[in-house]
Structures are given as C-alpha cells and as structure tokens.
Structure 1
C-alpha cells in the first residue's frame, strides 16, 4: 500500500487524458511516453525534465499497465486510487472489510498516525489469516501424501489436514445433533438454551459474516477479467450457521448477487447462489499451563532491574485484581434487597426460609426491605407482618424492614418507594418473592455493579411446571438443577437488577404510572441504556425462579396482557417435551427419543 498525496489527482487526470484520446493499442505501445511528455505542462506544471522522467516511470510502475494490454479506464483508476473523503471523518475508514479497500493500491486521505496504525494492523491481520490458511493447505497436502505413501499420518495432520465437510461429527443420538442457527440480514434465531430465541446480529458475528462473504466474492471473481464478467455482492437473503467445537464454523448462505458482463453485449442481472462454507480451526498458538502468580512476577521484575518500572506498575493493577478475586472483591458492601409483594403468604414463607439459610445464618452484609401492598381491610397482610416480627425476634441484629402500602399492586411504585429510603451510594437489589438464591449470587451482585458505569442484569433460570416435566412424580430436592428439561433462561426478563441509587436516579427511575404485571422493568432497562450506563447481562447460576401458575388479568393494558400470556406459555415445558407429549398422545405409543 503506497500512500500518495501531491500527485494523486494529477495521476487520475493523466489516465483520463490518455483514455479520452481513444488511442488504439499500437499507438499506446509506441506513443505512451511521448503523449505524457508532450502534455507534462498540463498534468504537472513547473516540473523539471528530470523530475518528469522519474515521474513517468513511477506512473508506469504503479498503474497495472503493460505495453501489450489495454490501459485502465477512468473507473478502474478510481478503484486503484481509492478516495475516502467523508464528512467529518478526516480520513477515518469505518469498514476495512471491503473489497474496494483490498483492490486499491493507494488510500487517501490517510495522514493521521492513529489511522495509519489501524490500517497497518488490519493488513497484518489479513496477512496472518492468509498464512494460517496456507498452513492448513500444507497440512492437507501432507495428510494426502502420507495416505498415498502408506505411511502413518501425524496427529497434527489428522486434526488440521481434514478436508472441508459438514459430516466430520457423526451424532449417535438426537440430543447430540449440533443445531443450526437461522439468520437473516439483521437477525439471528437460535434454539440454544443459553441464547435468546431472537436477537440482533452482534458486531462480532457481523464482522465474521462480512469477512466470510468477502472471501467468497474474491474466489468467485478470481478470473473475472478473463471471463469477461464481474459478480458483485448485494445481500444475504438468509442463511444457517453452527459451530462444531472440534472442527470449525459452518455456514449455508443464500446470497443475492449482481452478475455484470462487460464483454460483448453488456448485461446486468440479479442472481441467487447457495454457498456451503466451512471455516476450519487452525493450530492454537497460545496455551496457559498454569495460573500466573502476579505478585511473584512483580517481585522478580523489581529485583532484576528498575528499567521496567512501568511494567511493574501495570502489573500491580493485575496484582490488586488477583487479590480482589481471592478476597471476594467488595465483600463488605451492603446489599439492600427490595421485594415488592401483595398476598401470596405461602410463597413469602418459602422466600424467608431461603433468606434465612442464605443471609441470616451466614451473617451476610445485607438489608431486607419488604414493600407490602394490601387492600383497604389490611387482613391479607397480617400474616406477613407476624412472620417478619418472628424473624426479627430470632435475629435481633439482622436488618429487616417492612414498608406497608395501600392500593393496587404496582411493582415500579413499590421499588421506587423502597429505594427512596436510602442515600445515593446505596447498592440496591430489586428482587421477587418467587426467587431463591445463594450467597455467591450476592457476591456477583457486588462485583458486577459499578457505580456510575455499570448495572448488573442477571439472566435467571426459570423452572418449568414440574407436573409436566416429571409426569406427576415428585421433583428432586435440588432446585438448582439446570437442564433443557427442567427450565429455561429467562433472557427476556429485566426485573432482577443490581444498581446503585445514584444510577437509578440518573436514569430517571421507575414509571410509577404502570399498574399490575410487567413493563416497568423493560422501561427502566431502556432508561439505563439511554443514560449512558452499561448493562451487564449474563446467565446467573446462583438464582432460580421457582415455578408458579401464572394468572393474566384480562383487564391489564393490552401490551402487558400480551406479555403476560407469552410468559405464561413459556413456563409449561420445553418445546421438545411438549412435542413428545403430543406425539405420544396421538401415536398411542411412547415416543422413542433416541431411535427417532
């Protein structure tokens, strides 16, 4: 890649001048230098003869031109000398995964060192990819030669020298089948238990798809000039993707392309093609045998030399992080657990038993706040008050508070009221009475919540109906049993939240006008994103949502009612088990999962 500045536009005008002269092949062969020399005062006014001669040789070197081939057209010259003038970009190229970038011999403007380093880094990464691909090709050739010579194939050649195929892994049972993910131009649909059923294609997958399509188009257009046609990529109509952990990433893509014929009768037509692709894993180049002892490394560097003090100072940061990992991070930060509630005494009794085992007996640094809604009579809350008093008498040093509220239940209003009791540096945990949790979850709540920067939104595991799951048999005693059969990750729920009071206020707080079930958590989640805070989402193995029958009030807002019905439908059982029950009922025999 050559970066040109002063002569760039002049070279383009020179090529356009010769092209507009309509010179035939023989005239170009004989008179190319003569034409340029005679018009040097037009292209490069004030240039000396020596400079002109050197410049002509530079032109001949840079332009893909020989005396026996056709001179490039103006359009081709524009592709070779890539212009990147965009408003307020100042030479920054957003998308480097671009065929125009790869085909160009110059990029302009590209004057800022940071942009030049970025471009250089990208070109080196491309070179690394090409070399690793060449390595795989050599392993394939080596494996083939070993077979032809009846010699033993090395273990490395067996792993890296396999030819592309979708049949490397042969499942023995249906549960072992690696499922495909369906994708469109913008969305990804997944049946995996740790993935949302539908999500936007993230930047990592988007980059991988763009790079894959770019390589496909380069292979298709490898001999485009001799064939007199060019094929451009338009879009991905749809596709499938899956990851074979032992071999690589596999794609089936339906591509919409533009066929452009420039020999003979010019023609441009849209075409569709299926591409079956496999991106194989290559040899790993790094493996960490044992955990790095940062403290020992810092002491070793300090004792050897003082010239690397900047490395030592950087490693001290890692050392403190390692210490935090060992000590449990912000272990002394108090968590204020807020639980809005109306009725449901039996469920509340189970919650308090779990709270006693998890927090009261181990003396966790927490404070429990129950926001208890009740109707005008107040009779439905008397048992709850008595239960709280029993625990307060049993654990007099524990911090437990009950805030009574009158009127219709509103989760957002209750959490807003509860959080208003504390100062801005308070760490809040918005909880539900249907949950049971363990102590490790509380520590992750502390570690993953950063005041002014990050809010922790755990993805919790929700149990299916045990009557359906276990067919009337008693469920196991362990509620923390994670499998496709027992439950699912509630990736659409944002109700369980760890957030600082100051960040809650900065985001705008809850919408207290929302009554009844749902929507208040989604509203707050959107506010958190818009406020500039970073939501941290991950599966949380320390929390389980215990199954309970869902009742959806028809008088709810239509949007809330629809969400409630969707949540209710998702709690019956897994789609696979429901399908098996349906087949068993209609076929009249027990459905054999393995043989099917």
Structure 2
C-alpha cells in the first residue's frame, strides 16, 4: 500500500502541474481566443500600435508637402488570406501607389511585415459589413486629415498606381465624390435591395473611391448605418449610407466599367493573355483569385512602363538631334558638344554607367529613309503580308505567317487603335479594327521595324447623328530600337526559404520583430510550435546568417567575392556502343580538360550495345588509359544490358554528384572548348537560372561537299589558287595552348555548314539541387527523345529562369539518325524531323532537286487497261514493257 500510495501521489502531482501550466499559459496570452475569464486584468490590456507607424508615414508629412498622401487604400482581407493574397498585394501594386496602404482584418489576425490593422470586435464572417464600416471609421479617425482620397478595396483586386494617381489628380477632392462602378443589382434581387428608382451603389469588387469630404460627412454616422441595415450586401449598404449622409450617389458613368474593370470569368479572370484593350485601359482589375497571378499582372504592367519610358527617351534623343542640327553642330561632334556654362551635353561617354546611347542612331528622325544602303546587297527589302507572307530574301518565297510576326502585328495594330481612339470621348466617336487587308514589313537591324498596313476599320459615331460606316486607312509605322542596357546579376544569390537543406541550418533563429501584444518568448513556446512561420523566421534571420559567413560565401556587399571561374563542372554523358565516336570525344576532352587545369569531371553512364558488344570493353579500356595517363576524375557507371534510356542514364549519373554540384548534360557527338566551359559557369546560377544552350548542328559532310548539292550539272567552278600571293603576310603572335584548343575545336558558322538547333533541349547546365526540386526526368519515357522536352517545359513553369542563347562554341557533329518504327508516334515524328533537318541546307536541296528533276516529277508506271489484261499473250508483253519502263 505505501508503494502504491507513492505512485498515486506522483501521478497526481504530474497531472496537477501540467494543468496549472496550461492554465497559466492561457492567462498570459492576451491575444488568445480562449473564453476563460479568470486571468488578471493586466493581461487583458490591448496596446494599439501607432497608426502612422503602421503605414510608414511620418507626422510631418501632409497633403501639401508629400507625394505619398494622395490616396489611402484600405484593403479588406481575412486571416486565411494574409500570407497569400494580402502579401501578394503588398509586394506588387502597393509599392507603386501615390499614397499608402493598410490591410484590415479580424482582431485576432497577425501578419509580421504587413501594414495590418486588426479591427477590434470584428471577425472574418461573411458578409463583411461590420468590417467595411469600421474600416471607414478607422480611416477617418486616424488618417482623415492626412490624405485627399480614400479607397476601399478587396484583396483580390489589382490597382495600377500610376494611372490611379493620374485619374485622382483630375478630380476635385474638396467636393463630395463617390466614384465606382455603379450598380442596381440583378433583376431578381432588385426589390430585395430596397433601392429607390434614382438610387444606386458602387460595386465593391473593382474598388470604391471616396473623397476626403465624403468621408468627413459619412464616418460619424457609421454606427447608425450599421444598426439600420436592410440587406446583407455590404456595398449596397455603404452606398445607402453615403447617399443619406453625404448627399451623393455612385457615379453614373459608362467609363467606370472600363476604368474600374470587373471580369465576369471568375477564377479564370486574367489568367489568359493580357494583351487586351480592356486590360490596358483599366485602373483596377478584379478579381484576381489566384494570388500568383498578381505577380504576373505586376510584371506585365512593369514591362509596359519600361516600354513607355524607353519611348520617351527616344523622343528626347530626337529633340536633342533636332536642336543641335539647328545650331549647326555636325552629327559626329554631338556627343562632345558643350552647353553654355561649360556643361557637357552628354557627360558620360561610352563604357560608363551613365552613358545615354548614340544620339546619331537614337536621334534619327522618323523616316523610312533613315537607313541608306551603300551597296545593292545591303538593301533591306520589304516582305509582303496578306493571308501569307511573301519574301525575296527567304528560301521559301510564300509561307504562312509565323507566330512571332503575327503576335508583333497584333501588338502594333492594338497600339495604333489605342492612339486613334484616345480622343474618342471628346469627339463622340469610336473606331474599331475589323481586318488587315495587306501590308509590308521589314526589319532594319540598326534602327528597328518598318510597317505599311492597309487597315479595314469600322467608324461609329454615337454623339449627334449616329452612324456606322466602313473605313479603309493606310498606316505608316515605325518601331524604333532603343539603346542597349546591361544589368549585372550577382552570382550566388541566397537560396530559397523552402530549401530543406537551408531550413535544417536555421534552427534557433529568433525573429527580429515585435508583434502587437505578444512577446517573442510567448510566441515561441512549445504550445505554439505548429503555428510558427518558419519561412518568415528564416527571412528575418537571413541577414544575421549572412553577416557571419566568410567573404567567399557572401552574396552581396561591397567586398563581393565568388569563385566563378573555379567552379567544377560535372559532365554526365550517356553512352551505348559508338566506340569510334567516343574516341573522338575523348581526344576533344583530353585537349581541353585533361591537358589543362580546368575543373571538370566526367561521368560516363555506359550501356551494353547488343549489336556491338566489344564497344563496351573498349570504352572501359580507353577510360582506364586516360585516367592512368592524366590522373583526372573520370568515372564509369556500368548499366550492363539494361534497355537504354537517356533520362534514366542521366538520373543515374546524378546519383554520383552532390546537391551543390554544377551539372552539364552532354552527348558523345558534342564538340566543346574552353569558351564553352566559361559560358556554362557564367550562365548557370544556383536557385535562379538554368542554361539551355542552342548548339550548332552540322549538316551531312557528303552533302556539304558534294557537287550535286553545290552547283549545276556540267557547271565549272573557277577558283583562283594564286590569290594568296597578292596578300602581304603579317607576322602573328604565337598562340597559347588554350587559344589553339579553342581554334581546333570550333567550327565555321554559316548556313552552308549547319544550323542552330533551336528545337533541341538535350544539352543542359543546371545545379543538381535545382534539378531535384523540379522533379527531374519522366522515367516512364523509353527510347529516343521527348524526356528533355518535358523537362524543359517543367523548368519553364518553375520559378527558375531558363536562359537560352545560340552558343557557337558547342558543335554537334553530324551522325546519321536511325528512327525506330516501334517508337511512340510523337517520338517517331520528332526523330524524322531531326533526321531531315540535319541532312543539308535549303540551298543544297535546291541544287539537288534541279539537278535531278526526276525526283520532283517522277515518271509514273505505264497503266494497263482491263481489256488488254484479258488477252494473256498481250498481258505478258505488257508486263515486260512495264518492267522496262519502270527500270
């Protein structure tokens, strides 16, 4: 009994201790949702944060002295959307506002890093009537004298800050204004809304703009409006309250449907193409249900803004060129011209950070004769556009309009129509595009693109005497190139927060922010472990980690260092048979890597080719020879008689690499040099960018050098072998081994020798950790091709940048392609396409067809009629004649 009593006392003590601990925990948490009332009164004190500090506005800033006080935007959100929609809004369009923004949510909401106002006694229930009215009251009490305009917005609306500022500055905020997209409800619910015949409301989704005077009149009566609600529609009740106490209704204007745009597609809104008239004209876009689309919209509008600024810079260059021409300054002396007072017109010269570009080119007037050819061969002809495109400079004179040109024409026509319709409101008419009848286009590499378009338009006049008529107009257009800008990207950006290897290293990091009424110690207690935002903790503590890193690992700062050219590249090469080709590759590898100090490792994934079994042994012997000779890192992964699969082979080779290794997928037919290695290291950025080089693919040497493919029959080509005696020989400086290797393993790049394989995606440079994060290859694909195409599409959809460029240092040597008819249809067609592309150029095929007309017009077999077949003797004679004719 004594022993049992001691055990019972021990268990009772543990239970009592845990119970007391939980009780104290709940009492000390002032923001807890528990309903226990036995906590000390001191623990219930709510310390409201400084309203100006929340939005980042100083007390000295007023309407008169600040450009950030035009508009205050209150975004209604909920606790569940703080880390998605609300954060996306704050990181995109909120940064471009001509004012400030705050997010309004329930009283228990917390979002470190966001300007959040948790409204007291408000929850996230729907409809959010109480939240909406109390938000307006908070705006008036805290910011009523700080801003000219106030905007009520949802967390699924995108706002174009530049256009919003331009619009609001054109309206008098001292008068009562209530601006939005007016509505009266659907026919079915119109009676339920209890609106008079002349009453309306501003639809809340696309946003509602309220002047300071309107807010001053309405805010004191918010509580009255809350007590006298007729419906559950928050925007309807707001409109009723504004009409009652401010004496204004929502703007009755058709333009509001364009300015504050609502897309009725629901979740699919703005997920397609953004090159649409309504998107370009809108100030707000609603709804953006997927917060990731918010970043896409923001990027698109930023690109439009960049385009606009570039066009303005061209106008300034043209003004400068016109002015100095009137002053009699020669074009070659413009860049060195000095203004009165000793101020240089262009202070920064070429090669300096502030260089503004070549004014002689950028300042050229808008004229189709800007470029004047010195030789007949330099003339740039126009291409004719109709249903097809006709070119004198293309090997196929008539062809379908390619997708890039079609998209470019659509962009040009859309811009032209926007320019034409800009004053349509004042003139009471609108002109719509109907059809492109025909046109001319040409690309001048120095200046830009010229267009001559014959447009069929539809003229509509809606003011005065209404009419509709078809109109045909010619448009002469020029798209001028702007100056080239170079932006350096740091190599070695910090890894993404979700990387598991990084998350393991940040345990114990303490957040560097203070929440409204909770200390860091309270938030980090064991009872709240499931609610910790690890990513937020990581981001806030990232700077602390960075400051303690060695210089060689730091990714920014003035003393930036990164071992760019010393990175080790891991070549992974699948191989099955092809001993002779492998020997050629190893000679290339020996001259570029083994004889130098290049940090490159080679991993060969070797399969047994049943047709050439000796190649398996010979390949291993050759690798052993080079390893013994140079002592460099060459590894073989033996796959034996396993069915060959390129994706599986590369995946198997990756297992021999570390997560931080730089990987380069290469084929045995590739030729490379030192320049190739340098580009691989520069263009591949961990966590940020992968490199898909567009390699130069050789044509069939028999075709390139064959007479049938390069001249007409009986044509004699005269070459002057003595031309060298007329050229004075110059002494050349001796070349280094590196330069000699680059020359040896390079190819003359022209249209006769080969082509850049734009559709090839097999050659790839990527870090292993990035490869694993996107899921790697689809190992269900067997046989030739397709696995690299699917990987490319996966990378395009990821958050990694896919960098593609023509790399003339990577040459794919010609080899015949055998397409297995047992392949899947898509793979077989791709294989046939590759086989045809590598045969020869268009010029080679043209010569061959003209030299062999029987290929174009084959002689058909002689037909035999049924009556002659009835005669057996005649049939035999006809059969003999048929065979002779066919031969």
Please give the alpha-carbon distance, in whole angstroms, between the structure 1 residues aligned to 2:278 and 2:652. 58
Please give the alpha-carbon distance, in whole angstroms, between the structure 2 residues aligned to 1:582 and 1:437. 35
Contact 2:672 2:746 in 1 (8 A): no
Higher relative contact order (CA 8 A, sep 6+): 1
Partner of 2:178: 8
2:586 equivalent among 325, 345, 352: 352
1:413 equivalent among 648, 651, 654: 648
Distance 1:354 1:142, change over 3 A: closer
Please give the alpha-carbon distance, in whole angstroms, between the structure 2 residues aligned to 1:376 and 1:96. 54
Please give the alpha-carbon distance, in whole angstroms, between the structure 1 residues aligned to 2:615 and 2:303. 67
Contact 1:424 1:500 in 2 (8 A): yes
TM-superposed deviation, 1:562: 0.7
Alignment of 1:309-388 (within 5 A): 317=556, 329-331=564-566, 333-375=567-609, 378-388=613-623
TM-superposed deviation, 1:557: 1.8
Deviations 1:414-464 (A, max 9, x none): 212222233322322211000011122223223322333322211111111
- Flag the structure with larger Rg: 2
Please give the alpha-carbon distance, in whole angstroms, between the structure 2 residues aligned to 1:10 and 1:347. 71
Partner of 1:305: none
1:82 equivalent among 259, 265, 272: 259
Please give the alpha-carbon distance, in whole angstroms, between the structure 2 residues aligned to 1:365 and 1:181. 52
Contact 2:663 2:765 in 1 (8 A): yes
1:524 equivalent among 783, 787, 791: 791
May I ask how many residue pairs the two structures share in their alignment?
Answer: 487
Contact 2:695 2:807 in 1 (8 A): yes
Alignment of 1:574-585 (within 5 A): 574-583=841-850
1:216 is aligned to 2:416 = yes
1:567 is aligned to 2:834 = yes
Residue aligned with 2:833, SS: helix
1:545 equivalent among 795, 812, 824: 812
Residue aligned with 1:451, SS: coil
Contact 2:671 2:745 in 1 (8 A): no
Contact 2:609 2:615 in 1 (8 A): yes
Partner of 1:431: 666
Contact 2:451 2:478 in 1 (8 A): yes
Contact 1:375 1:407 in 2 (8 A): no
Please give the alpha-carbon distance, in whole angstroms, between the structure 2 residues aligned to 1:423 and 1:287. 33
Contact 1:171 1:177 in 2 (8 A): no
Deviations 1:194-219 (A, max 9, x none): xxx998659xx97x867744552255
Partner of 2:506: none
Distance 1:176 1:562, change over 3 A: farther
Contact 1:374 1:405 in 2 (8 A): yes
Please give the alpha-carbon distance, in whole angstroms, between the structure 1 residues aligned to 2:303 and 2:281. 17
CA RMSD of aligned residues (A): 5.5
Partner of 1:165: 368
Please give the alpha-carbon distance, in whole angstroms, between the structure 2 residues aligned to 1:123 and 1:508. 36
Please give the alpha-carbon distance, in whole angstroms, between the structure 2 residues aligned to 1:211 and 1:9. 32
Please give the alpha-carbon distance, in whole angstroms, between the structure 1 residues aligned to 2:414 and 2:633. 62
Distance 1:406 1:347, change over 3 A: same
Contact 2:689 2:801 in 1 (8 A): yes
Please give the alpha-carbon distance, in whole angstroms, between the structure 2 residues aligned to 1:394 and 1:100. 69
Deviations 1:25-50 (A, max 9, x none): xxxxxxxxxxxxxxxx99976669xx
Please give the alpha-carbon distance, in whole angstroms, between the structure 1 residues aligned to 2:694 and 2:809. 10
Residue aligned with 2:835, SS: helix
Please give the alpha-carbon distance, in whole angstroms, between the structure 2 residues aligned to 1:465 and 1:336. 30
TM-superposed deviation, 1:171: 7.3
Partner of 1:278: 478
Residue aligned with 1:539, SS: strand
TM-superposed deviation, 1:353: 0.4
Residue aligned with 1:231, SS: strand
TM-superposed deviation, 1:230: 2.4
Please give the alpha-carbon distance, in whole angstroms, between the structure 2 residues aligned to 1:354 and 1:391. 12
Alignment of 1:162-241 (within 5 A): 162=365, 164-165=367-368, 168-170=371-373, 172-173=375-376, 177=380, 201=404, 212-213=412-413, 215-217=415-417, 220-221=420-421, 229-233=429-433
1:259 is aligned to 2:526 = no
TM-superposed deviation, 1:569: 1.0
Contact 1:82 1:101 in 2 (8 A): no
TM-superposed deviation, 1:481: 1.3
Normalised by the length of structure 2, the TM-score is 0.45
Please give the alpha-carbon distance, in whole angstroms, between the structure 1 residues aligned to 2:260 and 2:820. 61
2:449 equivalent among 235, 242, 249: 249
Please give the alpha-carbon distance, in whole angstroms, between the structure 1 residues aligned to 2:478 and 2:445. 13
Contact 2:571 2:603 in 1 (8 A): yes
Normalised by the length of structure 1, the TM-score is 0.64
Residue aligned with 2:259, SS: strand
Residue aligned with 2:605, SS: strand
TM-superposed deviation, 1:521: 0.9
Please give the alpha-carbon distance, in whole angstroms, between the structure 2 residues aligned to 1:372 and 1:181. 53
Deviations 1:61-88 (A, max 9, x none): xx9xxxxxxxxxx666647x93245699
Residue aligned with 2:626, SS: helix
1:441 equivalent among 657, 676, 681: 676
Alignment of 1:61-210 (within 5 A): 78=256, 82-85=259-262, 129=311, 132-133=314-315, 136=318, 160=363, 162=365, 164-165=367-368, 168-170=371-373, 172-173=375-376, 177=380, 201=404
Contact 1:359 1:366 in 2 (8 A): yes
Contact 1:430 1:497 in 2 (8 A): yes
Please give the alpha-carbon distance, in whole angstroms, between the structure 1 residues aligned to 2:306 and 2:641. 66
Partner of 1:35: none
Contact 1:12 1:77 in 2 (8 A): no
Contact 2:777 2:791 in 1 (8 A): yes
2:703 equivalent among 446, 464, 468: 468
Deviations 1:106-164 (A, max 9, x none): 9899xxxx999x99997898588468548748967998x99xxxx99867799656552
Contact 2:697 2:811 in 1 (8 A): yes
Structure 2 residue runs of 5 or longer lacking an equivalent are: 1-165, 184-196, 199-239, 287-294, 335-358, 388-392, 489-554, 711-742, 855-887
